[in-house]
């Protein structure tokens, strides 16, 4: 028996070593993952011309290994009604990202740790009142020894900066033309909110659908930023549950602080299968008496 132990002992040691190295390599693989989180993901500030504010951004490393990060700022604007974000400067506009001064531009965040990076936004004295936009980015940096397609993760904190002063505000609400008759599937009931003013506002949109008794069968509310000199599409859809019904769609939104309401629109919904069944039944109900009457007429004639 002791002989047996003596023979097996080296194998036991080798086994332990293999298990240990396996777990170490698995750990190293897990450690390579990059989980970068920033909070807040957007910051809304109002500053007087010539004034400034001090803020901070938290960068959270959710992985086990430390990673290097680079901090930077970029201009920010959106394109299209879908609001596709762009990190470039619109021609003829002021680059507000130059107003942001970071306390550091590169640092390391330890694994499972949070790093707070202070920054200031300093508005020039000659800045005109209105809305200005920028993004503060935190980006992971990888070492140069990796090969293949090497990925970097970048997350942004959007800065909505209002320079105080007299600013024109206004906008409009328009809606999709809704069908009078609908057969099957969801009905798009979205709207578009435009901003003709000089700074952003938050629109509060409400879509409500009521049945013929006045009961609410669908309700959706959204709070969305509307940037100056843009129009934004806010999509939603209502899927009727009943096979047949008469519905009224109510749509309203606050536009630059003013409640605007679109005219109510009625939609008659009928399931195509039900429509076919009703047509078939009507055909039978009308056709059978006609057929009988024809048969009676023929028998009288003969």
Partner 1 sequence: MNQLIRKVAVISTVPVLAIALVAIVSSLQVSAVTTSVNSSIGSIISVFTSSGTVAVNATPSAVGVQTIANDVVTISTNNASGYTLKLAETTASSALVSGGNSIVASAGTLAAPIAQALNTWGYRVDSATIGGFGATTTSPVSNAAIGTIKFAGVPATASPDTIKVTSATATNDTTNVFYGVAVNTATPSGAAYTNSITYTAVTNP
Contact assessment for residue 232 and residue 193, using Cβ atoms and an 8 Å cutoff: yes
Q: Which of 81, 87, 90, 206 binds partner 1 (CB under 8 A)?
A: 87
Q: Which is nearer to partner 1, 99 or 201 (CB)?
A: 201
Q: Phi, psi at residue 293, to the nearest 5°?
A: -60, -40
Quote the least distance from Cβ 5 to partner 1, whole Å: 42
Which C-beta is closer to partner 1: that of 146 or that of 241? 146
Decide: 222 and 190 in contact? Cβ < 8 Å. no
Q: Binding to partner 1 by residue 270, rule CB under 8 A? A: no
Out of 49, 55, 83, 182, the residue judged to bind partner 1 by CB under 8 A: 83
Which residues fall within 8 angstroms of residue 107, CB to CB, at 6 or more apart? 68, 69, 71, 115, 117
Nearer to partner 1 by Cβ, of 176 and 222: the residue is: 222
Peptide bond just before 58 cis, omega within 30 deg: no
- Indicate which single residue of 72, 107, 120, 153 sits in contact with partner 1 (rule: CB under 8 A): 153
The reply to whether 185 sits near partner 1 by the rule CB under 8 A is no
**Count of residues engaged in binding partner 1, rule: CB under 8 A:** 47
Binding string, 12-41, against partner 1, x = CB under 8 A? Answer: -----------------x--xxxxxxxxxx
Q: How many CA atoms lie within 13 A of 12 on its CB side?
A: 6
**Residue 197 C-alpha from the chain's centroid:** 24
Min. distance of Cβ 171 from partner 1 in angstroms?
15
Question: Residue 216: CB partners within 8 Å, gap ≥ 6?
Answer: 208, 209, 210
Nearest to 201 by CA among 82, 41, 46, 40: 46
Does 152 interact with partner 1 (rule: CB under 8 A)?
Answer: yes
Interaction between residue 112 and partner 1 (CB under 8 A): no
Q: Which stretch binds partner 1 (CB under 8 A): 15-23, 83-91, 115-123, 277-285?
A: 83-91
Least separation in angstroms between CB 87 and partner 1 = 8
Q: Is 96 in the site for partner 1 (CB under 8 A)?
A: no
Beta bridge partners of 230: 195
Q: Which of 167, 238, 249 is nearest to 201 (CA)?
A: 167
Contact assessment for residue 106 and residue 68, using Cβ atoms and an 8 Å cutoff: yes
78 binds partner 1 (CB under 8 A): yes
Q: How far apart are CA 140 and CA 54, in angstroms?
A: 24
Rule CB under 8 A: which of 222-251 touch partner 1?
Answer: 222-227, 235
Please pick, from the candidates 23, 88, 113, 291, the single residue that binds partner 1 as defined by CB under 8 A: 88
Map tokens 């003596």 to a residue. Answer: 6
85 binds partner 1 (CB under 8 A): yes
Applying CB under 8 A, the span of 77-85, 99-107, 164-172, 292-300 interacting with partner 1 comes to 77-85
- Dihedral of the alpha carbons of 18, 23, 27, 30, in degrees to the nearest 10: 110
Tell me the two tokens of residue 66. 């430390």
Q: Is residue 121 a contact residue for partner 1 (CB under 8 A)?
A: no
Binding site for partner 1 (CB under 8 A): 29, 32-42, 60, 62, 78, 82-85, 87-88, 135, 137, 139-140, 142, 146-156, 158, 160, 200, 222-227, 235
């Amino acid at each position: 028996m002791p002989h047996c132990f003596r023979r097996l002992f080296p194998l036991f040691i080798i086994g332990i070593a293999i298990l240990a190295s396996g777990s170490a390599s698995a750990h190293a693989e897990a450690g390579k993952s990059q989980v970068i989180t920033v909070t807040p993901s957007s910051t809304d500030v109002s500053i007087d011309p010539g004034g400034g504010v001090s803020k901070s951004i938290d960068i959270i490393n959710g992985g086990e290994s430390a990673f290097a990060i680079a901090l930077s700022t970029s201009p920010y604007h959106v394109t299209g009604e879908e609001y596709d974000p762009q990190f470039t400067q619109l021609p003829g506009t002021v680059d507000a990202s130059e107003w942001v001064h970071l306390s550091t531009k590169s640092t390391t965040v330890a694994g499972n740790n949070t790093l707070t990076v202070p920054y200031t936004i300093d508005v020039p004295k000659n800045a005109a009142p209105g809305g200005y936009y920028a993004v503060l980015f935190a980006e992971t940096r990888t070492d140069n020894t990796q090969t293949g397609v090497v990925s970097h993760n970048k997350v942004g904190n959007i800065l909505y900066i209002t320079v105080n002063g007299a600013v024109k505000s206004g906008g409009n609400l328009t809606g999709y033309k809704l069908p009078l008759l609908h057969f099957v599937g969801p009905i798009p009931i979205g709207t578009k909110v435009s901003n003709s003013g000089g700074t952003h506002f938050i629109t509060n949109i409400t879509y409500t659908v009521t049945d013929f008794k006045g009961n609410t069968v669908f309700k959706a509310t959204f709070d969305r930023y509307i940037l100056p000199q843009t129009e934004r599409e806010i999509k939603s859809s209502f899927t009727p549950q009943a096979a047949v019904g008469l519905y009224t769609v109510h749509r309203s939104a606050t536009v630059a602080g003013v409640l605007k309401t679109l005219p109510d629109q009625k939609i008659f919904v009928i399931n195509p299968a039900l429509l076919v069944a009703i047509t078939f039944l009507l055909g039978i109900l009308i056709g059978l008496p006609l057929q009988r009457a024809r048969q009676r007429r023929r028998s009288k004639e003969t």
